[in-house]
Chain A
Amino acid sequence: MSRPLVEAVNVSKSFGHTEVLKGVDLQVHAGEVVCLLGPSGSGKTTFLRCVNALERIDGGWLRVDGELVGLLERGGRLHRMTDKQIAAQRRDIGMVFQRFNLFPHMTALENVVEAPCLVRREKRADAERRALALLERVGLADRVGNYPAQLSGGQQQRVAIARALAMQPKLMLFDEPTSALDPELVGEVLQVMRELAADGTTMVVVTHEVAFAREVADQVVFMDGGVVVERGTPEQVIGAPRHERTRAFLARVRSGDEG
């Protein structure tokens, strides 16, 4: 088997005296969709943020595409990366946030074009052509000139997905992409993500959408209390959970869905 795209071994992370990650192991292979499930405070979002160095890990190691995240090995020692080196590393990792975080002073098109032009030094015309194609792919061809404030939450999140894809990342991270959406807008965002998964995009998705995880994920990872409690195929983890904590969580989430 080839080397995993994301390789986390015994990753730990504390905020002050609170230990949020207590030794997380995780592997994501190219083309795979991994869904992280777990109650709030389980550390799944923190772990996702560590993968593109939005948070520093305190222990263990974390590699993306063979490179340590935020660190360089030189002369048998680890060195922290400079701001520029971290930025270069993040270029290949796309991230979609719970609260979209679109740039409010730019139109949908400008949001998507910005990073390829500024960071990858693409020609404006080329970047715009690709951006239009991406916006069409997420179903927003008629909204390219709108500012984020003029779009619904679901449309904003789809622009955010197009914005991340514009950098042609090897890996896409989704941090609860539908949690801030009105219920009737969740479907359109999940549909876009389903299509991405079908195209073979490598994705790590932190989500509460159990049905989505069951349908799309190749690997489901259940986290609680800063550790991985259970992992496996959706059939194993969601269909036949072995741990009491997993069962309790799934029961809670499902009763919420029906209520």
Chain B
Amino acid sequence: MTAEPGASAPEHPADAGRPGAVDAVEVRHPWRWVALAVIAVLVAMLVHLLVTNPAFDWAFTLEVMNQTAVIRGVLLGTLLMTVLAMVIGVGLGVVLAVMRLSDNPLLSGAAWVYTWFFRSVPRYVLLTFTGSLGALFAGGLSFGVPFDFLLTDALGTPELRFLNLDQATIYRLLGGYAGGVLALGLSEAAYMAEIARAGLLSVDRGQHEAAEALGMTKRQSMRRVVLPQAMRVIVPPTGNELIAMMKDTSLLSALPVTLELFYQVTQISGRTYQVLPALSAAVLYYLVLTSVLMVGQHFLEKRFGRGFGGQAAARPAAAGVALGPGGAK
């Protein structure tokens, strides 16, 4: 037998004397076992702490989680608020991104100033500020034709206003749930504008040209060709923003919005002096909500990743799209 060491005997007689399948000893990874041991010990310590430390009181935590006010806080204060603020944020953000990329310097400048302002103000400050904005409207706020009083002076037209809010109403609106949705949504729009802009810019110039060469207007090409591809780049960071927004609802007590989860839990911890167990209830809820959102994000990424990844090997290097397969997680 002339076979090299490690090579098994060839199966086919014609291959006699030629090396066959490789039969080699795999590389050992002893440090993996060390890492496993260290992590196992740390996990055991953590579990031990969670189970035996008397400062935790899981029965009480569960009781807090089951309180109507807390559940309302999760559903209305945290979840619904997140959804409403993100709807404003994503919608306005895409509009701002399109404005920013427009040829019109006025539109692109306005979008830049908006982004600059709302990215500069911390959310906690913004929420507190929004709660105090009513001070601007000592005489109330009216919706209608701008500067209608000038028209009244010049032409004698009646007041052209269809909705009047007095100062107390404004304080109540801005200092409450509506104010929270507005402030968080406007702030989010600034971040979403940057994310959407990056997404739109990631789409190859040739895609615009191909769409327009087929007779699509810029609008049609944006809606059917460019945006769906930009979504692939937009979705992962937006999932991140969604999760961040969900956690930022805990800042709403600055307004103050009392409906929200964290505020409710701190109230209970203040009443009962069971600080850790009460706060654990909030932590658990935030963990659950984040997990649910991550599952949703996974499916969105799959939906907008159509045509990318998977059979990446079949893709020629010269394909019209310069993006790699897959996407950030």
**Are A101 and B207 in contact (CB-based, < 8 A)?**
yes
Q: How far is the CA of A82 from the CA of B213 in the complex (A)?
A: 15
Is A83's beta carbon under 8 Å from chain B?
A: yes
A window 141-155: CB within 8 A of B: 147-153
Residue in contact with B316 in the complex, picked from A52, A84, A91, A152, CB distance below 8 Å: A152
Residue of A nearest to B226 (CB): A103
Q: How far is the CA of A183 from the CA of B211 in the complex (A)?
A: 28
Is A167's beta carbon under 8 Å from chain B?
A: yes
Q: How far is the CA of A115 from the CA of B210 in the complex (A)?
A: 10
Is A106's beta carbon under 8 Å from chain B?
A: yes
**Are B225 and A100 in contact (CB-based, < 8 A)?**
no
**Are B319 and A149 in contact (CB-based, < 8 A)?**
yes
The answer to whether A99 and B213 touch (CB under 8 A), given A83-B218, A150-B311, is no
Query: Total interface residues on A, using CB and 8 Å?
Result: 42
Is B21's beta carbon under 8 Å from chain A?
A: no
**Are A104 and B215 in contact (CB-based, < 8 A)?**
no
CB-CB contacts of B194-222 with A at 8 A, as 1s and 0s? 00000000001011011111111111100
**Are B214 and A90 in contact (CB-based, < 8 A)?**
yes
Query: Total interface residues on B, using CB and 8 Å?
Result: 34
Q: How far is the CA of A106 from the CA of B207 in the complex (A)?
A: 12
Residues of chain A within 8 A (CB-CB) of B321 are 104, 148-149
Is B171's beta carbon under 8 Å from chain A?
A: no
Residues of chain B within 8 A (CB-CB) of A198 are none
B window 77-136: CB within 8 A of A: none
**Are A149 and B320 in contact (CB-based, < 8 A)?**
no
Is B307's beta carbon under 8 Å from chain A?
A: yes
Is A34's beta carbon under 8 Å from chain B?
A: no
B window 202-250: CB within 8 A of A: 204, 206-207, 209-220, 224-225, 228-229, 232
Q: How far is the CA of A156 from the CA of B321 in the complex (A)?
A: 12
**Are B224 and A54 in contact (CB-based, < 8 A)?**
no
B window 142-184: CB within 8 A of A: none
Is A17's beta carbon under 8 Å from chain B?
A: no
Q: How far is the CA of A182 from the CA of B316 in the complex (A)?
A: 9
**Are B229 and A104 in contact (CB-based, < 8 A)?**
yes
Number of residue pairs A-B, CB distance < 8 angstroms = 114
Q: How far is the CA of A236 from the CA of B224 in the complex (A)?
A: 46
Is B138's beta carbon under 8 Å from chain A?
A: no
The answer to whether A147 and B206 touch (CB under 8 A), given A101-B320, A119-B215, is no
Residue of B nearest to A99 (CB): B320
Residues of chain B within 8 A (CB-CB) of A152 are 314, 316
Residue of B nearest to A87 (CB): B217
**Are B229 and A87 in contact (CB-based, < 8 A)?**
no
**Are B312 and A115 in contact (CB-based, < 8 A)?**
no
Q: How far is the CA of A186 from the CA of B13 in the complex (A)?
A: 42
**Are B204 and A101 in contact (CB-based, < 8 A)?**
yes
**Are B316 and A54 in contact (CB-based, < 8 A)?**
no
Residues of chain B within 8 A (CB-CB) of A224 are none
Residues of chain B within 8 A (CB-CB) of A160 are 210
Residues of chain A within 8 A (CB-CB) of B212 are 54, 86-87, 90
The answer to whether A115 and B206 touch (CB under 8 A), given A99-B318, A104-B229, A153-B318, is no
Is B32's beta carbon under 8 Å from chain A?
A: no
**Are A118 and B218 in contact (CB-based, < 8 A)?**
no
Is B306's beta carbon under 8 Å from chain A?
A: yes
Residue of B nearest to A89 (CB): B215
Q: How far is the CA of A83 from the CA of B320 in the complex (A)?
A: 24
Residues of chain A within 8 A (CB-CB) of B213 are 52, 54, 90, 93-95, 97, 164
**Are A103 and B215 in contact (CB-based, < 8 A)?**
no
The answer to whether A181 and B318 touch (CB under 8 A), given A97-B209, A99-B206, is yes
Is B271's beta carbon under 8 Å from chain A?
A: no
Q: How far is the CA of A120 from the CA of B220 in the complex (A)?
A: 12
Q: How far is the CA of A181 from the CA of B320 in the complex (A)?
A: 12
The answer to whether A119 and B218 touch (CB under 8 A), given A54-B209, A104-B229, A150-B311, is no
Q: For A95, A101, A107, A120, which residue has the most chain B Cβ atoms within 10 angstroms?
A: A101
Is A71's beta carbon under 8 Å from chain B?
A: no
Residue in contact with A104 in the complex, picked from B209, B218, B308, B318, CB distance below 8 Å: B308
Q: How far is the CB of A203 from the nearest CB of chain B, in Å?
A: 15
Q: How far is the CA of A182 from the CA of B228 in the complex (A)?
A: 29
Residue in contact with A149 in the complex, picked from B216, B314, B318, CB distance below 8 Å: B314
Q: How far is the CA of A99 from the CA of B206 in the complex (A)?
A: 8
The answer to whether A88 and B314 touch (CB under 8 A), given A101-B204, A104-B229, A105-B306, is no
Additional pairs, 11, CB under 8 Å, beyond known A101-B204, A149-B307, A167-B214: A52-B213, A103-B229, A104-B321, A114-B224, A147-B307, A147-B311, A148-B307, A149-B310, A149-B315, A151-B314, A164-B213
Chain A to chain B contacts (Cβ below 8 Å), 10 pairs: A83-B219, A87-B217, A101-B207, A102-B320, A103-B211, A105-B306, A114-B224, A115-B214, A119-B220, A148-B307
